[in-house]
A and B are shown apart, each in its own frame.
Chain A
């Protein structure tokens, strides 16, 4: 099995997201691995454990710090690491997917795994765009993939705990919602060790695509309401909440 796992380096939503002009101020935010990519990495590692083969981790290096994520991927079971050196913090999904498709096509993968979505997918997710550019089927919101004899049996989730099972002939692109097992832990010592010896292949961006979206404005939502905030120490907050619940017959 020749599995490609795509990593997306995105602005962290854990902190404030300052805006400059019509975009996020990319210079003053932390970038992190898209949380769903942890799941697709795990799914790739599970398939490799079951069937053998190689896992190639690839991503667009939007701010010059992708090496850290690639080292993490190697520590979690990837065999090969590739970065597309773009240095373009605002590269949208279309542009990234086009570059990735040009890099991935010659790899002739059996399976391309992508996190099902990312919080900055304003122009759509990498997975379906990649599938369109590579002329492969796409199936997303996937929660398990088992491969046998050139066919994958996979579960896709719908709302409310419902889902469906599909069989898909390889190759295809899958958007992973969750792996069958929680993502494995990679000790920092192992990542550091890998960082010293790992060889990361570097590619130049090739191909052109554009979201076709002109950004007029990016701003925090205008809110119609806001919670009544309870101030004070944790004990004071707790006392106020318990009183509130008792008043309403909820405690």
Chain B
């Protein structure tokens, strides 16, 4: 077993994603403590992969893998892990990493930590902080065994320390690609035609607390009075109360408005990822322990309907 750290890179439209720079930066810090190297694994051809601060970057230069293929990526990572026997394998807790991390754990028997917010070394062992239960609790875990898998929440570490100029080394695919059961068909673009919430100066964001589709109108009225647009957290969109173009967060859009007025959003880590840089965050929620109050600038523990209606009268 080596002391190296394998970072499984994520890319989109030919560019390495920020979460990868974040992980490489963190990996450098850990590798220095472990006395190992940081190896980045980039799967897919046509990806600009020469700007990581890794000790080595391996690139599987297969045009067929430029687009994410969960089956192929999983088996390639498994093969590389078997060959390199790293101490730690890092994934993003993203649409891609969520397909790979726990699968690799099931295959190899190595422990997996998900929702990872931080990793550190204590007496040569890893201690990992996981943001569980929608951000309400942090679990500090010590993985046992020789290899550990960590799936890291985007935005957990700064990107700067992961930026460098290591030239990628091309490697052939370690697995045969002709018997795959999963085939990439086509990319799906965001649906056009709706307002673009990423360019709005003011957003009124509604969460599960809004209760039902029939109550969206109240948020619309308030937004109109404020010159804002209505955005939403994932459960509201999954329930079909608002279109997906309005979704803020990990699986939605990242926004940075001047005002983000939140009605009935508890502040799960996935949502915070999309809005934590807003200039003024105001949260109204009935749960005084909601994690959003740790991020918002102003908060009130109150019935959102009563507050929204009272605001409408004053505007």
Query: B258 — which chain A residues lie within 8 A by C-beta?
Result: 250
- Encoded as 1 (CB less than 8 Å from any B CB) or 0, chain A from 2 to 19 comes to 000000000101111101
Q: How far is the CA of A108 from the CA of B238 in the complex (A)?
A: 30
Query: A237 — which chain B residues lie within 8 A by C-beta?
Result: 284, 300, 302, 307, 310
B217-269, CB < 8 A from A: 225-226, 235, 237-240, 244-245, 247, 250-254, 258-259, 266, 268
Q: How far is the CB of B250 from chain A (nearest CB, A)?
A: 6
CB of A182 within 8 A of CB of B133, answer: no
Q: Is B189 located at the chain interface by the 8 A CB criterion?
A: yes
B265-315, CB < 8 A from A: 266, 268, 280-284, 287, 289, 291-303, 306-311, 313-315
Q: How far is the CA of A228 from the CA of B149 in the complex (A)?
A: 38
Q: How far is the CA of A245 from the CA of B225 in the complex (A)?
A: 12
CB of B136 within 8 A of CB of A220, answer: yes
Q: How far is the CA of A119 from the CA of B190 in the complex (A)?
A: 27
Q: Is A205 located at the chain interface by the 8 A CB criterion?
A: no
Q: Is B1 located at the chain interface by the 8 A CB criterion?
A: no
Using A237-B302, A241-B298 as known contacts, say yes or no to A215 and B133 having CB atoms under 8 A apart: no
Which listed residue (B103, B137, B302) contacts A218, Cβ 8 A?
B137
Q: Binding site of A, secondary structure by majority: helix, strand, loop or mixed? A: mixed
Query: A204 — which chain B residues lie within 8 A by C-beta?
Result: none
Q: How far is the CA of A24 from the CA of B115 in the complex (A)?
A: 17
Query: B247 — which chain A residues lie within 8 A by C-beta?
Result: 161
Q: Is A55 located at the chain interface by the 8 A CB criterion?
A: no
Interface size class of B (residues with CB under 8 A): 35 or more
Q: Is B76 located at the chain interface by the 8 A CB criterion?
A: no
Q: Is B145 located at the chain interface by the 8 A CB criterion?
A: yes
Which listed residue (A162, A182, A212) contacts B190, Cβ 8 A?
A162
A40-64, CB < 8 A from B: none
CB of B112 within 8 A of CB of A141, answer: no
Minimum CB distance partner of B274 in chain A: A159
Q: Is B134 located at the chain interface by the 8 A CB criterion?
A: yes
Which listed residue (A168, A218, A227, A250) contacts B140, Cβ 8 A?
A218
Query: B109 — which chain A residues lie within 8 A by C-beta?
Result: 212
Most buried by A among B139, B191, B244: B139
Q: Is A244 located at the chain interface by the 8 A CB criterion?
A: yes
Query: A124 — which chain B residues lie within 8 A by C-beta?
Result: 101-102, 105-106, 112, 114, 149, 151
Q: How far is the CB of B43 from chain A (nearest CB, A)?
A: 15
Query: B307 — which chain A residues lie within 8 A by C-beta?
Result: 234, 237-238, 241
CB of A221 within 8 A of CB of B294, answer: yes
Query: A235 — which chain B residues lie within 8 A by C-beta?
Result: 306, 310
Q: How far is the CA of A94 from the CA of B145 in the complex (A)?
A: 15
Q: How far is the CB of A240 from chain B (nearest CB, A)?
A: 8
Q: How far is the CA of A127 from the CA of B112 in the complex (A)?
A: 14
CB of B137 within 8 A of CB of A234, answer: no
CB of A215 within 8 A of CB of B251, answer: no
Q: How far is the CA of A14 from the CA of B253 in the complex (A)?
A: 25
CB of B137 within 8 A of CB of A161, answer: no
Minimum CB distance partner of B293 in chain A: A227
Q: How far is the CB of A152 from chain B (nearest CB, A)?
A: 10
Q: How far is the CA of A212 from the CA of B143 in the complex (A)?
A: 6
CB of A162 within 8 A of CB of B105, answer: no
Minimum CB distance partner of B116 in chain A: A122
Which listed residue (B98, B110, B143, B225) contacts A116, Cβ 8 A?
B98
Closest 5 CB pairs of A and B: A132-B106, A124-B102, A161-B190, A212-B111, A238-B310
14 contacts between A and B (CB under 8 A): A117-B98, A139-B70, A157-B251, A159-B94, A166-B184, A167-B182, A213-B142, A215-B140, A217-B139, A218-B138, A223-B294, A227-B295, A235-B310, A251-B315
11 other A-B residue contacts (CB within 8 Å) besides A124-B112, A214-B142: A16-B289, A132-B106, A139-B99, A159-B251, A162-B12, A165-B188, A212-B144, A220-B136, A231-B300, A238-B308, A241-B298
Q: Hey, which bits of chain A sit against chain B, CB under 8 A?
A: 11, 13-17, 19, 24, 35, 39, 93-94, 97, 116-117, 119-125, 127-133, 137-141, 153, 155-169, 172, 175, 177-178, 181-183, 211-223, 225-231, 234-235, 237-239, 241-242, 244-245, 248, 250-251
